[in-house]
Protein backbone atom coordinates (compact mmCIF):
# COMPACT_ATOMS: atom_id res chain seq x y z
CA UNK A 1 0.00 0.00 0.00
CA UNK A 2 2.83 2.37 0.91
CA UNK A 3 4.57 1.68 -2.39
CA UNK A 4 1.36 2.46 -4.24
CA UNK A 5 0.98 5.83 -2.48
CA UNK A 6 4.60 6.69 -3.22
CA UNK A 7 4.08 5.83 -6.90
CA UNK A 8 0.98 8.03 -7.07
CA UNK A 9 2.82 10.94 -5.44
CA UNK A 10 5.75 10.55 -7.82
CA UNK A 11 3.37 10.47 -10.80
CA UNK A 12 1.54 13.62 -9.63
CA UNK A 13 4.88 15.38 -9.12
CA UNK A 14 5.92 14.61 -12.69
CA UNK A 15 2.59 15.93 -14.01
CA UNK A 16 2.99 19.14 -11.97
CA UNK A 17 6.53 19.61 -13.25
CA UNK A 18 5.47 19.19 -16.88
CA UNK A 19 2.54 21.57 -16.37
CA UNK A 20 4.82 24.23 -14.90
CA UNK A 21 7.27 23.82 -17.77
CA UNK A 22 4.52 24.29 -20.34
CA UNK A 23 3.26 27.37 -18.50
CA UNK A 24 6.80 28.72 -18.36
CA UNK A 25 7.31 28.36 -22.09
CA UNK A 26 3.93 29.74 -23.08
CA UNK A 27 4.15 32.69 -20.72
CA UNK A 28 7.33 33.87 -22.39
CA UNK A 29 5.37 34.52 -25.56
CA UNK A 30 2.42 36.30 -24.02
CA UNK A 31 2.13 40.06 -23.96
CA UNK A 32 -0.29 41.16 -21.29
CA UNK A 33 0.40 44.86 -21.39
CA UNK A 34 -2.83 46.63 -22.27
CA UNK A 35 -1.03 49.80 -23.33
CA UNK A 36 1.04 50.57 -26.41
CA UNK A 37 3.52 53.04 -24.95
CA UNK A 38 5.77 52.65 -21.92
CA UNK A 39 9.00 54.47 -22.55
CA UNK A 40 12.26 54.25 -20.70
CA UNK A 41 14.93 56.90 -21.25
CA UNK A 42 18.54 56.43 -20.21
CA UNK A 43 18.98 58.38 -17.00
CA UNK A 44 15.44 59.68 -17.02
CA UNK A 45 13.61 60.10 -13.76
CA UNK A 46 9.98 59.22 -14.26
CA UNK A 47 7.54 61.57 -12.62
CA UNK A 48 4.68 60.39 -10.44
CA UNK A 49 1.92 58.40 -12.07
CA UNK A 50 -1.11 60.48 -12.92
CA UNK A 51 -3.46 58.96 -10.37
CA UNK A 52 -5.52 62.15 -10.01
CA UNK A 53 -6.41 64.98 -12.40
CA UNK A 54 -3.70 67.63 -13.04
CA UNK A 55 -3.43 70.51 -10.54
CA UNK A 56 -5.80 68.78 -8.14
CA UNK A 57 -5.05 69.80 -4.54
CA UNK A 58 -4.22 66.72 -2.47
CA UNK A 59 -4.81 66.31 1.21
CA UNK A 60 -1.16 67.01 1.93
CA UNK A 61 -1.16 70.32 0.06
CA UNK A 62 -4.71 71.48 0.86
CA UNK A 63 -4.63 74.46 3.23
CA UNK A 64 -7.62 73.06 5.11
CA UNK A 65 -5.32 70.45 6.64
CA UNK A 66 -2.66 72.89 7.85
CA UNK A 67 -2.92 74.37 11.34
CA UNK A 68 -2.85 78.19 11.19
CA UNK A 69 -1.70 78.77 14.80
CA UNK A 70 -5.23 79.84 15.73
CA UNK A 71 -5.18 82.93 13.49
CA UNK A 72 -7.51 81.67 10.73
CA UNK A 73 -11.09 82.89 11.01
CA UNK A 74 -14.18 80.86 10.15
CA UNK A 75 -14.89 83.08 7.13
CA UNK A 76 -11.35 82.52 5.81
CA UNK A 77 -11.76 78.79 6.37
CA UNK A 78 -15.09 78.68 4.48
CA UNK A 79 -13.61 80.74 1.63
CA UNK A 80 -10.70 78.31 1.35
CA UNK A 81 -13.07 75.34 1.29
CA UNK A 82 -15.20 76.98 -1.43
CA UNK A 83 -12.16 77.84 -3.55
CA UNK A 84 -10.81 74.30 -3.27
CA UNK A 85 -14.18 72.84 -4.30
CA UNK A 86 -14.34 75.14 -7.33
CA UNK A 87 -10.83 74.09 -8.36
CA UNK A 88 -11.74 70.42 -8.14
CA UNK A 89 -14.86 71.02 -10.22
CA UNK A 90 -12.91 72.86 -12.93
CA UNK A 91 -10.23 70.18 -13.11
CA UNK A 92 -12.67 67.29 -13.34
CA UNK A 93 -14.51 68.85 -16.28
CA UNK A 94 -11.27 69.35 -18.22
CA UNK A 95 -10.59 72.07 -20.78
CA UNK A 96 -13.62 73.10 -22.85
CA UNK A 97 -13.30 73.10 -26.61
CA UNK A 98 -10.51 70.49 -26.74
CA UNK A 99 -10.71 68.45 -29.93
CA UNK A 100 -8.71 66.46 -32.47
CA UNK A 101 -8.25 67.95 -35.95
CA UNK A 102 -7.01 65.86 -38.85
CA UNK A 103 -5.88 65.84 -42.45
CA UNK A 104 -5.36 62.39 -43.92
CA UNK A 105 -3.19 60.45 -41.46
CA UNK A 106 -2.13 63.63 -39.66
CA UNK A 107 -3.73 64.46 -36.35
CA UNK A 108 -3.20 67.36 -34.00
CA UNK A 109 -4.84 68.72 -30.88
CA UNK A 110 -6.75 72.01 -30.75
CA UNK A 111 -7.22 73.52 -27.30
CA UNK A 112 -9.11 76.67 -26.40
CA UNK A 113 -6.41 77.93 -24.08
CA UNK A 114 -3.38 80.26 -24.50
CA UNK A 115 -0.08 78.57 -25.34
CA UNK A 116 1.84 80.03 -22.34
CA UNK A 117 -0.61 78.32 -19.99
CA UNK A 118 -0.46 74.99 -21.86
CA UNK A 119 3.30 74.75 -22.27
CA UNK A 120 4.15 73.83 -18.61
CA UNK A 121 1.45 71.14 -18.61
CA UNK A 122 2.74 69.61 -21.86
CA UNK A 123 6.28 69.67 -20.48
CA UNK A 124 5.16 67.86 -17.31
CA UNK A 125 3.29 65.37 -19.48
CA UNK A 126 6.46 64.21 -21.27
CA UNK A 127 8.43 63.96 -18.03
CA UNK A 128 5.64 61.93 -16.42
CA UNK A 129 5.85 59.50 -19.35
CA UNK A 130 9.54 58.81 -18.73
CA UNK A 131 11.23 61.23 -21.15
CA UNK A 132 14.03 63.73 -20.84
CA UNK A 133 13.73 66.93 -22.87
CA UNK A 134 16.72 67.88 -25.02
CA UNK A 135 14.89 70.93 -26.40
CA UNK A 136 12.80 73.01 -24.02
CA UNK A 137 11.90 76.40 -25.50
CA UNK A 138 8.83 78.11 -23.99
CA UNK A 139 9.48 81.24 -26.07
CA UNK A 140 8.97 79.32 -29.33
CA UNK A 141 6.58 76.67 -28.02
CA UNK A 142 8.89 73.86 -29.10
CA UNK A 143 10.11 70.86 -27.10
CA UNK A 144 11.87 67.65 -28.12
CA UNK A 145 12.47 64.47 -26.16
CA UNK A 146 15.58 62.33 -26.06
CA UNK A 147 15.71 58.90 -27.71
CA UNK A 148 13.90 56.30 -25.62
CA UNK A 149 12.94 52.63 -25.78
CA UNK A 150 9.30 51.60 -25.82
CA UNK A 151 9.18 48.94 -23.09
CA UNK A 152 5.55 48.06 -23.88
CA UNK A 153 6.85 45.95 -26.77
CA UNK A 154 8.52 43.55 -24.30
CA UNK A 155 6.42 40.65 -23.03
CA UNK A 156 5.14 41.46 -19.54
CA UNK A 157 4.80 37.83 -18.42
CA UNK A 158 4.72 36.65 -14.81
CA UNK A 159 8.38 35.65 -14.90
CA UNK A 160 9.54 39.13 -15.87
CA UNK A 161 7.18 40.71 -13.35
CA UNK A 162 8.89 38.63 -10.66
CA UNK A 163 12.56 38.88 -11.61
CA UNK A 164 12.45 41.43 -14.46
CA UNK A 165 14.06 44.12 -12.36
CA UNK A 166 17.28 42.15 -12.13
CA UNK A 167 17.25 41.30 -15.85
CA UNK A 168 16.10 44.68 -17.21
CA UNK A 169 19.31 45.20 -19.15
CA UNK A 170 18.79 41.88 -20.99
CA UNK A 171 15.46 42.95 -22.45
CA UNK A 172 15.80 45.34 -25.39
CA UNK A 173 13.50 45.86 -28.36
CA UNK A 174 16.28 47.24 -30.56
CA UNK A 175 14.08 50.24 -31.33
CA UNK A 176 14.21 53.86 -30.19
CA UNK A 177 11.82 56.78 -30.60
CA UNK A 178 11.91 60.50 -30.00
CA UNK A 179 9.11 63.03 -30.15
CA UNK A 180 8.83 66.67 -31.11
CA UNK A 181 6.02 68.83 -29.78
CA UNK A 182 5.13 72.21 -31.22
CA UNK A 183 2.53 74.64 -29.85
CA UNK A 184 1.14 76.89 -32.57
CA UNK A 185 -1.11 79.90 -31.91
CA UNK A 186 -3.65 80.25 -34.71
CA UNK A 187 -5.90 82.82 -33.08
CA UNK A 188 -6.20 84.48 -29.65
CA UNK A 189 -7.08 82.02 -26.92
CA UNK A 190 -6.64 78.94 -29.13
CA UNK A 191 -3.58 76.69 -29.47
CA UNK A 192 -2.76 73.84 -31.83
CA UNK A 193 -0.49 71.10 -30.43
CA UNK A 194 1.45 68.90 -32.84
CA UNK A 195 3.25 65.70 -31.78
CA UNK A 196 5.56 64.05 -34.30
CA UNK A 197 7.54 60.83 -33.86
CA UNK A 198 10.88 59.74 -35.30
CA UNK A 199 12.11 56.17 -34.99
CA UNK A 200 15.34 54.20 -35.25
CA UNK A 201 15.99 50.48 -35.35
CA UNK A 202 19.18 48.53 -34.61
CA UNK A 203 20.35 46.39 -37.54
CA UNK A 204 23.26 44.01 -38.06
CA UNK A 205 26.07 44.59 -40.50
CA UNK A 206 27.02 41.17 -41.88
CA UNK A 207 29.99 39.62 -43.63
CA UNK A 208 29.89 37.39 -46.72
CA UNK A 209 28.76 34.43 -44.63
CA UNK A 210 25.83 36.31 -43.16
CA UNK A 211 27.34 36.53 -39.67
CA UNK A 212 26.58 39.70 -37.70
CA UNK A 213 29.74 41.76 -37.31
CA UNK A 214 28.29 44.78 -35.56
CA UNK A 215 25.07 46.75 -35.25
CA UNK A 216 24.14 50.23 -36.42
CA UNK A 217 21.10 52.39 -35.83
CA UNK A 218 19.10 53.24 -38.94
CA UNK A 219 15.90 55.26 -39.38
CA UNK A 220 12.56 53.49 -39.52
CA UNK A 221 9.28 54.84 -40.94
CA UNK A 222 7.20 57.32 -39.00
CA UNK A 223 4.41 55.71 -36.94
CA UNK A 224 1.21 57.85 -36.89
CA UNK A 225 -0.38 55.47 -34.38
CA UNK A 226 2.29 56.23 -31.79
CA UNK A 227 1.62 59.93 -32.32
CA UNK A 228 -2.10 59.27 -31.87
CA UNK A 229 -1.47 57.30 -28.66
CA UNK A 230 0.39 60.23 -27.12
CA UNK A 231 -2.23 62.72 -28.30
CA UNK A 232 -4.84 60.64 -26.46
CA UNK A 233 -2.68 60.53 -23.33
CA UNK A 234 -2.13 64.28 -23.49
CA UNK A 235 -5.87 64.84 -23.72
CA UNK A 236 -6.28 62.77 -20.56
CA UNK A 237 -3.53 64.83 -18.92
CA UNK A 238 -5.49 67.98 -19.75
CA UNK A 239 -8.67 66.65 -18.14
CA UNK A 240 -10.54 64.52 -20.68
CA UNK A 241 -11.62 61.01 -19.73
CA UNK A 242 -9.72 58.07 -21.20
CA UNK A 243 -12.80 56.84 -23.05
CA UNK A 244 -13.47 60.24 -24.62
CA UNK A 245 -9.85 60.71 -25.67
CA UNK A 246 -9.52 57.28 -27.25
CA UNK A 247 -12.84 57.63 -29.08
CA UNK A 248 -11.87 61.02 -30.47
CA UNK A 249 -8.44 59.85 -31.66
CA UNK A 250 -9.86 56.61 -33.09
CA UNK A 251 -12.25 58.38 -35.48
CA UNK A 252 -11.50 57.05 -38.99
CA UNK A 253 -9.07 59.17 -40.97
CA UNK A 254 -10.16 60.66 -44.26
CA UNK A 255 -8.26 60.30 -47.55
CA UNK A 256 -5.34 62.61 -48.13
CA UNK A 257 -4.83 64.03 -51.61
CA UNK A 258 -1.18 64.64 -52.55
CA UNK A 259 -0.76 68.39 -52.98
CA UNK A 260 3.00 68.98 -53.16
CA UNK A 261 5.01 69.34 -56.38
CA UNK A 262 8.74 70.03 -56.63
CA UNK A 263 9.40 72.61 -59.36
CA UNK A 264 12.91 73.20 -60.70
CA UNK A 265 13.55 75.25 -63.82
CA UNK A 266 16.00 77.87 -64.98
CA UNK A 267 13.60 80.81 -64.95
CA UNK A 268 12.54 80.64 -61.32
CA UNK A 269 14.05 79.65 -58.02
CA UNK A 270 13.45 75.98 -57.22
CA UNK A 271 10.45 75.60 -54.94
CA UNK A 272 7.54 73.41 -53.88
CA UNK A 273 4.04 74.16 -55.09
CA UNK A 274 1.22 73.40 -52.65
CA UNK A 275 -2.43 73.31 -53.68
CA UNK A 276 -3.84 74.49 -50.35
CA UNK A 277 -4.24 77.77 -48.46
CA UNK A 278 -1.42 79.49 -46.62
CA UNK A 279 -2.75 78.33 -43.24
CA UNK A 280 -2.71 74.67 -44.24
CA UNK A 281 0.60 75.06 -46.06
CA UNK A 282 2.18 76.58 -42.95
CA UNK A 283 0.92 73.70 -40.82
CA UNK A 284 1.96 70.99 -43.29
CA UNK A 285 5.46 72.44 -43.75
CA UNK A 286 5.88 72.59 -39.99
CA UNK A 287 4.95 68.91 -39.66
CA UNK A 288 7.30 67.99 -42.52
CA UNK A 289 10.15 69.79 -40.77
CA UNK A 290 9.38 68.08 -37.46
CA UNK A 291 9.46 64.63 -39.08
CA UNK A 292 12.81 65.23 -40.80
CA UNK A 293 16.34 66.03 -39.61
CA UNK A 294 15.41 69.68 -39.28
CA UNK A 295 15.50 71.49 -35.97
CA UNK A 296 13.17 74.50 -35.85
CA UNK A 297 14.93 77.21 -33.87
CA UNK A 298 12.35 79.93 -34.42
CA UNK A 299 9.51 80.88 -36.72
CA UNK A 300 7.61 83.95 -37.89
CA UNK A 301 4.16 83.01 -39.11
CA UNK A 302 3.34 86.53 -40.28
CA UNK A 303 6.38 86.49 -42.58
CA UNK A 304 5.93 82.79 -43.35
CA UNK A 305 9.48 81.87 -42.26
CA UNK A 306 10.79 78.86 -40.36
CA UNK A 307 14.36 79.34 -39.07
CA UNK A 308 15.90 75.87 -39.04
CA UNK A 309 19.09 73.87 -38.65
CA UNK A 310 19.70 70.78 -40.75
CA UNK A 311 22.21 67.97 -40.34
CA UNK A 312 23.10 66.05 -43.49
CA UNK A 313 23.87 62.44 -42.41
CA UNK A 314 26.41 62.09 -45.24
CA UNK A 315 28.47 64.98 -43.87
CA UNK A 316 29.01 63.39 -40.45
CA UNK A 317 31.60 60.98 -41.82
CA UNK A 318 30.95 58.32 -39.18
CA UNK A 319 30.96 54.68 -40.24
CA UNK A 320 28.70 53.80 -37.32
CA UNK A 321 25.87 55.62 -39.03
CA UNK A 322 23.95 58.79 -38.39
CA UNK A 323 21.63 57.43 -35.71
CA UNK A 324 24.48 55.69 -33.89
CA UNK A 325 26.15 59.07 -33.72
CA UNK A 326 23.04 60.61 -32.23
CA UNK A 327 23.05 58.06 -29.39
CA UNK A 328 26.76 58.64 -28.71
CA UNK A 329 27.91 60.89 -25.89
CA UNK A 330 30.44 62.34 -28.34
CA UNK A 331 27.80 63.49 -30.80
CA UNK A 332 29.03 66.51 -32.73
CA UNK A 333 26.13 66.68 -35.20
CA UNK A 334 25.03 70.06 -33.86
CA UNK A 335 28.45 71.49 -34.76
CA UNK A 336 27.97 70.39 -38.38
CA UNK A 337 24.39 71.61 -38.71
CA UNK A 338 23.76 74.38 -41.21
CA UNK A 339 21.18 77.11 -40.81
CA UNK A 340 18.48 77.77 -43.38
CA UNK A 341 15.23 79.65 -43.80
CA UNK A 342 12.22 77.72 -45.08
CA UNK A 343 9.79 80.28 -46.51
CA UNK A 344 6.08 79.74 -47.17
CA UNK A 345 4.52 82.30 -49.53
CA UNK A 346 0.86 82.52 -50.45
CA UNK A 347 0.20 82.62 -54.20
CA UNK A 348 -3.59 82.50 -54.07
CA UNK A 349 -6.57 81.52 -51.98
CA UNK A 350 -5.73 77.82 -52.31
CA UNK A 351 -2.09 77.80 -53.32
CA UNK A 352 1.32 78.53 -51.81
CA UNK A 353 5.00 78.06 -52.64
CA UNK A 354 7.80 76.86 -50.36
CA UNK A 355 11.38 78.09 -50.80
CA UNK A 356 14.67 77.25 -49.10
CA UNK A 357 17.02 80.16 -48.36
CA UNK A 358 20.37 80.37 -46.63
CA UNK A 359 20.88 81.87 -43.19
CA UNK A 360 21.03 85.38 -44.70
CA UNK A 361 17.71 85.00 -46.49
CA UNK A 362 19.17 84.58 -49.99
CA UNK A 363 18.03 81.84 -52.44
CA UNK A 364 19.78 78.52 -51.81
CA UNK A 365 20.19 77.54 -55.47
CA UNK A 366 22.67 74.81 -54.66
CA UNK A 367 22.60 71.00 -54.64
CA UNK A 368 22.06 71.23 -50.87
CA UNK A 369 19.02 73.47 -51.39
CA UNK A 370 17.58 71.10 -53.98
CA UNK A 371 18.14 68.17 -51.62
CA UNK A 372 16.25 69.91 -48.82
CA UNK A 373 13.34 70.73 -51.12
CA UNK A 374 13.24 67.12 -52.31
CA UNK A 375 13.21 65.89 -48.70
CA UNK A 376 10.36 68.24 -47.78
CA UNK A 377 8.39 67.21 -50.88
CA UNK A 378 8.64 63.55 -49.84
CA UNK A 379 7.30 64.39 -46.39
CA UNK A 380 4.52 66.61 -47.73
CA UNK A 381 3.20 63.91 -50.07
CA UNK A 382 3.09 61.12 -47.47
Q: Tell me: do 161 and 285 sit in the same domain.
A: no
The answer to whether 105 touches 251, Cβ cutoff 8 Å, is no
pLDDT for position 169: 54
Q: Do 292 and 328 share a domain, yes or no? A: yes
Q: Tell me, yes or no, whether 310 lies in a domain.
A: yes
Q: With pLDDT > 90 as the criterion, what percentage of the chain qualifies?
A: 39
Q: Please tell me whether residues 241 and 377 are part of one structural domain.
A: no
For the purposes of burial, counting CB atoms within 10 Å of the CB of 124, is it exposed (0-12), middle (13-18) or buried (19 or more)? middle
Q: Which residue has the higher pLDDT, 8 or 40?
A: 40
Nearest to 314 by CA among 306, 322, 324, 303: 322
Residues 240, 139: one domain? yes
Give the per-residue pLDDT at 355: 96
Same domain, 343 and 222: no
Question: Residue 380: which residues within 8 A CB-CB, separation 6 or more?
Answer: 259, 260, 272, 274, 284, 285, 288
Q: Is the confidence at residue 330, as pLDDT, over 60?
A: no
Domain final position from 252, 286, 310? 252
Range in 54-58, 141-145, 271-275, 321-325 the model is least confident about = 54-58
- Strand 190-206 with 106-111, pairing: antiparallel
Last residue of a domain, one of 252, 267, 289: 252
pTM over 0.85: no
234: in domain? yes
What is the total count of domains within the chain?
2
Spatial separation of the C-alpha atoms in residues 247 and 238, rounded to whole Å: 16
Residue 17 lies in a domain: no
Look at residue 12 and tell me if it is in a domain.
Answer: no
CATH number, domain with residue 180: 3.30.530.50
Does residue 316 lie within any of the structural domains? Answer: yes
Higher pLDDT, 89 or 334: 334
Rounded to the nearest 10°, the torsion over CA 365, 370, 375, 376 is: 40
Whether residue 260 contacts residue 380, with contact meaning beta carbons closer than 8 Å, is answered with yes
Q: What is the pLDDT of residue 111?
A: 95
Q: Where is pLDDT greater, at 293 or 182?
A: 182
Instruction: Please report whether residue 6 resides in a domain.
Output: no
Q: What is the pLDDT of residues 224-283, one digit of tens each?
A: 889 999 999 999 999 999 999 999 888 776 666 667 999 987 667 899 999 999 999 999
Give yes or no: residues 329 and 272 share one domain: yes
121 & 245 share domain = yes
**Res 224: pLDDT:** 87
As a whole number of angstroms, the distance between CA 268 and CA 36 comes to: 47
Q: Are 98 and 140 contained in the same domain?
A: yes
Q: Tell whether the model's pLDDT for residue 23 goes beyond 70.
A: no
Q: For position 195, what pLDDT does the model report?
A: 96
| Domain carrying residue 222 | 30-71+93-252
pLDDT of residue 284: 92
Confidence label for 368 from pLDDT (cuts 50, 70 and 90)? confident
pLDDT computed for residue 197 by the predictor = 94
Specify the 3-state DSSP secondary structure of 209.
coil
Looking at the domain assignment, is residue 151 inside a domain?
A: yes
The least confident of 92-106, 121-135, 199-213, 228-242 is 92-106
> Does some domain include residue 82?
no
Most confident region among 72-76, 254-258, 303-307, 327-331 by mean pLDDT? 303-307
Residue 27 or residue 328, greater confidence? 328
**Could you tell me the pLDDT band of residue 298, with boundaries at 50, 70 and 90?**
very high
Judgement on whether residues 198 and 213 belong to the same structural domain of the protein: yes
Residue 347, sorted as left (phi over 0), alpha (psi -120 to 50) or beta, turns out to be alpha
**Whether residue 207 is found in the same domain as residue 289:** no
Average model confidence (pLDDT) across the chain:
74
Most confident of 73-77, 124-128, 288-292: 124-128
Percent of the chain with pLDDT over 70: 63
CATH number at residue 331: 3.30.310.170
pLDDT score recorded for residue 79: 56
**Residues 218 and 332 occupy one common structural domain:** no
pLDDT (tens digit, 9 = 90+) per residue, 154-207?
A: 665 555 455 545 445 556 778 899 999 999 998 888 999 999 999 999 888 887
Question: Which of residues 219, 252, 285 is at a domain's end?
Answer: 252
Residues 113 and 214 in one domain: yes
Amino acid sequence: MMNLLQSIRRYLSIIALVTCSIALLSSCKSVTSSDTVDYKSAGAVRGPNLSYPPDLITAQADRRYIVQDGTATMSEYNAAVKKSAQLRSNVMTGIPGMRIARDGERRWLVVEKPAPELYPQVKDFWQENGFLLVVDSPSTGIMETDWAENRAKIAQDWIRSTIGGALDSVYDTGERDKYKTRLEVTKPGETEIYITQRGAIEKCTTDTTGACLSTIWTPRPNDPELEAAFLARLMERLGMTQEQAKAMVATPLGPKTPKAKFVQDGANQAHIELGVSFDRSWRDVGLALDRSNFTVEDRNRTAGVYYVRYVNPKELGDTKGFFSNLFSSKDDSSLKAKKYQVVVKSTGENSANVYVQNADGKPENTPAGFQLLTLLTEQLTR
